[in-house]
């Protein structure tokens, strides 16, 4: 098989996550065929976020920690004037933080699309979209094995935890070009998502909307990954998909939003590894 690994966003914590990406993601893919690694990132010099306790200067993107076949670095904000950002803002601010989180989401979605386009005419059978700020706790061999056995040219494998009424968008393994385009190109559906439901943009529900629009088959798995901040602290994730676990995850999500709104800035974090 031909496998494309697309990394996107910002490399704020790559020194803490690169080993897990190399060991659990890239090495797992290499067991199943030819791979290429593509990365699109923003040239971010500093991260300042009260809720996540981040106030860090980023001196280097540490791109040499991964072996990229193609790599593109872009200045943030440049694409926004030509995007649907202003139109989507008119549907409301789901995070109620003066559209900062919405702006971050637009950057993430733009970066996903750019990373996929770096693959060009590679024509991968499988495309894995993965954030570089995730510490992958589990080896991804299982989902590559499942993907190889799926008799479909349009399917996606995503984590079942923390779907928040849609589809978990932390990392996604797309089988076939239709599925890969649905995952990578969903920024183009942002305004239609908002107008269809008369609601603010929501990351997980947008991904489900895009997959449904393209008639992509959705399968889930329980493999885990945790966000790592620029200061090396891990976010506390809730991987339990049972009803109590889903209730707890949604409650934690709402509490974090509330704390943002009232300015407490108290994140849920774990001990630095």
**What pairs with residue 40 in β-bridges?**
8, 72
Residue numbers in the chain where pLDDT is lower than 70: 48-55, 241-273
Q: Tens digits of per-residue pLDDT, 190-240?
A: 999 999 999 999 999 999 999 999 999 999 999 999 999 888 889 888 887
Domains and CATH numbers, the chain: 2-270 (3.90.550)
Percent of the chain with pLDDT over 70: 85
CA distance 111 to 184: 9
Give the containing element (helix H, strand E) for 145.
helix 141-149
- The confidence score (pLDDT) of residue 266 equals 36
- In angstroms, rounded to a whole number, what is the distance separating the alpha carbons of residues 181 and 105? 18
User: Is the pTM higher than 0.85?
Assistant: yes
């Amino acid at each position: 098989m031909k496998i494309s690994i697309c990394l996107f966003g910002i490399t704020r914590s790559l020194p803490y996550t690169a080993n897990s990406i190399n060991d659990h993601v890239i090495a797992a893919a290499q067991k199943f065929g030819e791979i290429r690694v593509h990365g699109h990132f923003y040239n971010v010099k500093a991260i300042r976020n009260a809720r996540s306790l981040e106030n860090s200067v980023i001196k280097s993107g540490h791109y040499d920690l991964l072996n990229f076949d193609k790599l593109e670095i872009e200045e943030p904000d440049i694409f926004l004037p030509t995007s649907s950002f202003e139109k989507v803002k008119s549907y409301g601010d789901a995070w109620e933080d003066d559209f900062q989180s919405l702006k971050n989401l637009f950057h993430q979605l733009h970066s996903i699309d750019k990373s996929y386009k770096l693959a060009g005419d590679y024509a991968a059978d499988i495309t894995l979209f993965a954030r570089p700020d995730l510490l992958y706790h589990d080896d991804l061999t299982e989902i590559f094995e499942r993907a190889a056995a799926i008799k479909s040219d349009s399917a996606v494998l995503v984590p079942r935890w923390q779907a928040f009424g849609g589809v978990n968008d932390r990392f996604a393994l797309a089988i076939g070009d239709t599925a890969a385009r649905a995952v990578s190109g969903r920024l183009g559906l942002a305004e239609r998502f908002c107008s269809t439901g008369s609601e603010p943009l929501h990351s997980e529900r947008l991904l489900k909307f895009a997959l449904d629009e393209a008639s992509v088959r959705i399968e889930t798995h329980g493999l885990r990954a945790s966000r790592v901040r620029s200061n090396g602290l891990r976010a506390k994730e809730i991987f339990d998909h049972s009803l109590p676990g889903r209730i707890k995850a949604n409650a934690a999500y709402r509490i974090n939003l509330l704390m943002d709104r009232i300015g407490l800035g108290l994140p849920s974090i774990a001990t630095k590894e």
